[in-house]
Each structure stands twice: as structure tokens, then as C-alpha cells.
């Protein structure tokens, strides 16, 4: 199989009708969202969800985010407490996933939630939202890449990785946000961050007036007690004290470099120079002006590009940790973590 690629901006009606045909046939499609490209399928159809896991080689205990057209649709499937509803109203459509209790007999299949009694819900911007409105069923959609590899932010990234395993790729250009959604869960009136992402933690804190508790990751050697969060899953499946490898290029990754070594691919941030850059095999910059939004949008594309140089190591200069920098540093640490 070689995927058919349809350009949404050139053929929007064809993109919509072909996508619906493939989805109703119980097959996954790759589609653009503002975060990264997703591998989307009918969240109510177990065979369709199974194809997502198979296509990605993703472990089935890792739940999928269910994408909805709007908050009204989301409330058919999940129960929203006042804080979650406020967050939804403020940030949807957008790069925020809310983990809420799953409604009984909601129709979302347990394969999508990995058997949990909660569900991660997000409303994407643009074409994906429009498609879901027409489909009128939630789309389960993880990133459209082989599990553990770098997330795709363009149709070309998807085609190179999964092009011979899926029927249809919708091309919507470069992903605007470029990193996955921020995942938040309200629990006993506390607000917990399960994954940093495209909405900065500070924005969530200033909207709610609540402190956003950061995840206790496997890296710290503790378990969080969370039923099914990424941190907890990693804590269970990884050796204690090791950061789980994810978003991994083929090359090794060296972080917070102060000096580049000869032959490395070098990724800079802002105007600060790194000694040894002249001997690098290739030099990129996430954002010459030091804009974290631009850096997030370019992160995976530059990791893909640096990896394509065939270097042994990708060296990355320090990136500030505030705002979207939290998500950028999270992805970089996982890209650089020891491989299984
Ligand atoms: P992704 O890997 O981008 O597809 O995002 C999926 C992640 O969302 C999972 O690895 C979990 O961390 C999180 N997630 C999705 N559904 C749930 C849920 N019901 N409870 C806790 N975390 C969830
Ligand atoms: Mg992913």
C-alpha cells in the first residue's frame, strides 16, 4: 500500500469526503492538527482502534486521546467538573487535553482508553475539528509516527514513516504549534499536569488560579500513583531512575551543550553562539530571535532534518524552561533518554 496524499487547501471537499469514506470503513487516516499530525480512527470501533496500535507499533496499555468537535460533543462522552469545563471553554479548540471521568455506555471503546474509567479529550482547531463534526463520532488519534520516534509536523514526515502502512494522508502544511497537547487532570479539586505541551502551564494557572502540580516522572525514581498517566506507565515499564525514551531520532542526542564537537549536527536557540559550531556537520536554529512558540513549531522538523544528515549525534543548546520551553525541554529529554 502506498498512501494517497490529498492537499486540503487545494481540494478541501475531496479531502473531507475521502477522509469520511476511509473512517467509515474502519481504517485510520493521517491528518493535520495544530499540534502534530495524527493517526486518526473511529474511537467507537474496536477494529479501527486496533489498526492504530498496529500501524504505530504502540503498546496497548497507552491510552489514546479522543478528539471531539466541540465541548457539547465532549460532554456526551466525559463528565466535566467546573474547573475542567472552564479550561475547555478557555482553550478549546486548541492544544489542551483534559482527562475526565468516562461516561457509562458512552460508546468510546475500552481499547481507546486502555480500559481506564477516564478519557483524555481534546478539541482540535481547523480541518480536523470540521471533519469530526461531519463524522459525528470521536476520533482516537495519537501522533502519526512509529511508536517512540519523532512526531510528524508535516505530511512528508508521515509519508516517509507510515506511507506504506496507511491508505490516506491529508496534507495541511506545517503544524502550527508543533508539539503535542498539554494534558491536565482535575482530581479532588487539585490540578495535575500529566504532560507539558502546546498550552503553557502558566496560562492554565493564571486562568484557574490553581497551582498546576507537575508530574512525578520515572526519571525521579518515584511512582505517581496515577492510574494510567504517561508518568505512571513509564514508571511501571521502565527501570527506575531512567527517563523513558520517546520522540527519538536515529542519532544520539546531547542536551544543554556548551561546546559543539566536530561532526555533530548542532541545534541552537536564540542569538547565543556555541563554540565549535564551525566544525559541526550542520547547524540549525530553533528560533534565532529566541521565540519559544517558533522553537516549538520547528522542534520536530529540525530533529528530523538533523537526523537525515546521518550524523551520530545531535547536539542541542540550552532552551529556556518557562512557557512553551517546558514542553520543548520535555521532548528533548525524552529524545535524548537511554534507548531500550
Ligand atoms: P499521545 O501519546 O500524544 O497519543 O497522548 C496519549 C497520552 O495521553 C497517554 O500516553 C496518556 O499520558 C494520556 N492519556 C490519554 N488518556 C488518558 C486517560 N484516560 N488517563 C490518563 N492519561 C491519559
Ligand atoms: Mg506520539
Same domain flag for 188 and 40: yes
What separation in Å is there between the alpha carbon of 247 and the centre of ligand 2? 7
Cβ proximity of 2 and 166 under 8 Å: no
Determine the pLDDT at residue 229: 46
Helix H or strand E segment including 6: strand 4-7
CATH number at residue 300: 3.40.50.11030
Same domain flag for 293 and 177: no
What separation in Å is there between the alpha carbon of 279 and the centre of ligand 1? 41
**Terminal CA-CA length for the chain:** 30
Determine the pLDDT at residue 247: 85
226 CA: nearest ligand 1 atom: 21
Residue nearest to atom 3 of ligand 1 (CA): 142
- Structural domain total, the chain: 2
In sequence order, the β-bridge partners of residue 213 are 192
Ligand nearest to the CA of 148: 2
Residue nearest to atom 10 of ligand 1 (CA): 230
Helix H or strand E segment including 168: strand 168-171
Same domain flag for 271 and 232: no
Q: Is residue 246 one of the residues assigned to a domain? A: no
Same domain flag for 217 and 92: yes
114 CA: nearest ligand 1 atom: 19
What separation in Å is there between the alpha carbon of 276 and the centre of ligand 2? 33
Ligand nearest to the CA of 141: 1
Neighbours of 83 (CB within 10 A): 19
Q: Is residue 242 one of the residues assigned to a domain? A: no
CATH number at residue 90: 3.90.870.10
Residues of the domain holding 309: 252-335
Q: Phi/psi of residue 141, each to 5°?
A: -150, 105
Residues ≥6 apart with Cβ < 8 Å to 220: 241
Determine the pLDDT at residue 203: 98
Pocket test for ligand 1, best of 37, 57, 59, 62 (most atoms within 8 A of CB): 62
Ligand nearest to the CA of 61: 1
Cβ proximity of 192 and 181 under 8 Å: no
What separation in Å is there between the alpha carbon of 273 and the centre of ligand 2? 31
Q: Is residue 78 one of the residues assigned to a domain? A: yes
Query: Among the three residues 205, 236, 267, which one is the final residue of a domain in this structure?
Result: 236
Compute the residue count for the chain.
340
Determine the pLDDT at residue 243: 61
What separation in Å is there between the alpha carbon of 82 and the centre of ligand 2? 29
Q: Phi/psi of residue 262, each to 5°?
A: -55, 140
Which residues line ligand 1 at a C-beta cut-off of 6 Å? 62-65, 99, 113, 116, 118-120, 142-143, 180, 183, 194-195, 228-230
Q: Is residue 314 one of the residues assigned to a domain? A: yes
Q: Is residue 262 one of the residues assigned to a domain? A: yes
Cell of 131: 471533519
What separation in Å is there between the alpha carbon of 250 and the centre of ligand 2? 16
What pairing do the DSSP bridges indicate for beta strands 38-42 and 29-31? antiparallel
* pLDDT per residue as tens, the chain (340 positions): 699 999 999 999 999 999 999 999 999 999 999 999 999 999 999 999 999 999 999 888 889 999 999 999 999 999 999 999 999 999 999 999 999 999 999 999 999 999 999 999 999 999 999 999 999 999 999 999 999 999 999 999 999 999 999 999 999 999 999 999 999 999 998 999 999 999 999 999 999 999 999 876 544 433 333 334 444 444 333 333 446 788 889 999 999 999 999 999 999 999 999 999 999 999 999 999 999 999 999 999 999 999 999 999 999 999 999 999 999 999 999 999 887 7
Ligand nearest to the CA of 197: 1
Cell of 67: 478528539
Determine the pLDDT at residue 61: 85
Amino acid at each position: 500500500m502506498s498512501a494517497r496524499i490529498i492537499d486540503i487547501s487545494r481540494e478541501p471537499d475531496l479531502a473531507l469526503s475521502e477522509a469520511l469514506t476511509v473512517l467509515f470503513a474502519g481504517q485510520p487516516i493521517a491528518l493535520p492538527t495544530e499540534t502534530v499530525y495524527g493517526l486518526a480512527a473511529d474511537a467507537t470501533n474496536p477494529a479501527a482502534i486496533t489498526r492504530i496500535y498496529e500501524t504505530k507499533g504502540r503498546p496497548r496499555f497507552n491510552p489514546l486521546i479522543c478528539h471531539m468537535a466541540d465541548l457539547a460533543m465532549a460532554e456526551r462522552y466525559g463528565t466535566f467538573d467546573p474547573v475542567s469545563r472552564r479550561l475547555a471553554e478557555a482553550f478549546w479548540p486548541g492544544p489542551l487535553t483534559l482527562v475526565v471521568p468516562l461516561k457509562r455506555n458512552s460508546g468510546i471503546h475500552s481499547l481507546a482508553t486502555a480500559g481506564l474509567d477516564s478519557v483524555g479529550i481534546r478539541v482540535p482547531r481547523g480541518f480536523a475539528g470540521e471533519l469530526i463534526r461531519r463524522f459525528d463520532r470521536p476520533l482516537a488519534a495519537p501522533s502519526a509516527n512509529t511508536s517512540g520516534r519523532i512526531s510528524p509536523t508535516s505530511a512528508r514526515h508521515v509519508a516517509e514513516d507510515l506511507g506504506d502502512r496507511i491508505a490516506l494522508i491529508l496534507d495541511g502544511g506545517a503544524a502550527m504549534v508543533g508539539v503535542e497537547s498539554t494534558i491536565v487532570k482535575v482530581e479532588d479539586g487539585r490540578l495535575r499536569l500529566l504532560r507539558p505541551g502546546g498550552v503553557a502551564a502558566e496560562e492554565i494557572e493564571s486562568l484557574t488560579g490553581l497551582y498546576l502540580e507537575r508530574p512525578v516522572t520515572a526519571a525521579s525514581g518515584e511512582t505517581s500513583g496515577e492510574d494510567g498517566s504517561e508518568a505512571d506507565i513509564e514508571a511501571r515499564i521502565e527501570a527506575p531512575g531512567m527517563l523513558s525514551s520517546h520522540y527519538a531520532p536515529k542519532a544520539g542526542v546531547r542536551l544543554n551543550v556548551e561546546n559543539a564537537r566536530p561532526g555533530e549536527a548542532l541545534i541552537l536557540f536564540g542569538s547565543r553562539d556555541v563554540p565549535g559550531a564551525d566544525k559541526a556537520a550542520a547547524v540549525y536554529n530553533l528560533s534565532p530571535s529566541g521565540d519559544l512558540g517558533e522553537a516549538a513549531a520547528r522542534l520536530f522538523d529540525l530533529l528530523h532534518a538533523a537526523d537525515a544528515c546521518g550524523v551520530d549525534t545531535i547536539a542541542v543548546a540550552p532552551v529556556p524552561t518557562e512557557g512553551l520551553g517546558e514542553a520543548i525541554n520535555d521532548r528533548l529529554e525524552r529524545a535524548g533518554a537511554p534507548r531500550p
